[in-house]
A = this chain, B = another copy of it.
Amino acid sequence: MSSHITSPTWDTFFAERTKWIKSSIIRELLKFTQQPEVISFAGGLPAPELFPIEAIKKASVELLEKEGQKMLQYGPTEGYPLLNEQISIYMKKMGVSCSVQEILPTSGSQQALDLVGKIFINEGDTIFVSKPTYLGALQAFNSYGPKYVGSLMDDDGLIPEEVEKVLMLHKPKFMYVISTFHNPAGVTMPEDRRKKLVELAEKYDTFIIEDDPYSRLRFEGNEIPPIAAYSRERVIYLGTFSKVLAPGFRLGWIVAPKEVIAKLVQAKQGTDLHTSTYVQYLAAKLCAQDLIETHLDKIKSVYRQRRNLMLDSMDKYFPKVGFHWTKPQGGLFLWVIMPEKIDSVKLLEKAVENKVAFVPGNAFYPDPDEGRNTMRLNFSNMKEELIVEGIRRLGELLKREA
């Protein structure tokens, strides 16, 4: 019927920003590493065998029976009020006071990153990030065309004195910070550094986007409140149910001052109208049952064991000279710094040949020429016996390369 219609040259139609949007290396890699015989420490997945399936099933049935017409209908962009209420209670437990009007549920915290980029970033704006930083944040922000400045971290995360040098010089619009169990670095900022960061935000008239998917996954040491507990004025907080409940829901949230929430709501309307009512009802009910707290107890004990096993195996199988790795007290990841001569991208090719995988660290830098001698290892998603075997394989390879 349309035999005379030819395809356009699509390249001529794509917007400029598509040049800045690149596919995530991690997600591309995951495809290769999903062969069943590869032991992959590459993903950032929770352990699916721990998902609270029974509780979710029970809640779904009860909700559909009692509130089916509402949970299947359109809802307000601002969020299902009972969910906002539950999030407010949850934040309070972590030491952050916020009203339901200062909360916006999002379609995963990836959407929170996109919305933050949308309302704040003009092309050419300067954004501060840690080096390394979360890859998904770079992906979200990139489509709005910012420039990045950053500073390195130590085993306690961002170093305020180093951050200040960058703020003074570059006056970034905001600082994107992963305060606790950093992805990818596994490090956590102590309280004094958090307070200092807030003071710097005030001093240089900027603000902090605090991305906090992992802080509830602490299996060792004392809890440290999010940066948002020290300042609601200069901190926009991003939370998510992906790591404490289930990522398949795609449900996160933003805590921000009301005038910022108002702008985010407008942006979200045009982006997806609202987050799935169905999923919001489910999460609200599970929160009201305190499911997250009991679920956390369960997953933390497993993740602790897996981290221990990974660290023990690394002690046993990894070369020592020129190697350093972080010892996270929670979260999903640890970070390995290797001798300069090792290029982790090339290393990955060899690793996959040896049936083991990780994420090359340069994926987490705005400039992929940085961090080439680093890698991220995930310990949450691999059964115990495979952690030992995978680290053994990787250790053998590293001994040959080092």
Contacts and interface: CB of A to CB of B under 8 A. Distances in A.
Contacts of A22: 266
A53 B278 CA distance: 12
A263 interface: yes
B64 A57 contact: yes
Interface stretch (A86-94, A135-143, A296-304, A366-374): A135-143
Nearest to A53: B68
A71 to B, nearest CB: 6
A199 B69 CA distance: 44
B48 A70 contact: yes
Interface in A55-102: 56-57, 60-61, 64-65, 68-77
A140 B268 CA distance: 9
Given A14-B263, A174-B13, A273 B250 contact: yes
Contacts of A274: 250
A205 B8 contact: yes
A67 B266 CA distance: 36
A27 interface: yes
A247 interface: yes
A107 interface: yes
A108 B272 CA distance: 6
A130 interface: no
B72 A51 contact: yes
Interface in A233-262: 233-234, 242, 246-250, 257, 259-260
Contact of A272 (B110, B202, B273, B278): B110
A211 to B, nearest CB: 14
A230 B1 CA distance: 6
B48 A73 contact: yes
B111 A272 contact: yes
Contacts of A385: none
A13, A53, A142: residue with the most chain B Cβ atoms closer than 10 Å: A13
B5 A269 contact: no
A119 B12 CA distance: 11
A120 interface: yes
Given A5-B201, A5-B202, A17-B118, 17 more contacts: A2-B232, A7-B257, A8-B206, A18-B267, A53-B64, A53-B68, A56-B68, A71-B248, A72-B248, A107-B107, A107-B276, A110-B270, A136-B273, A143-B270, A248-B277, A248-B278, A250-B276
A353 interface: no
Contacts of A308: none
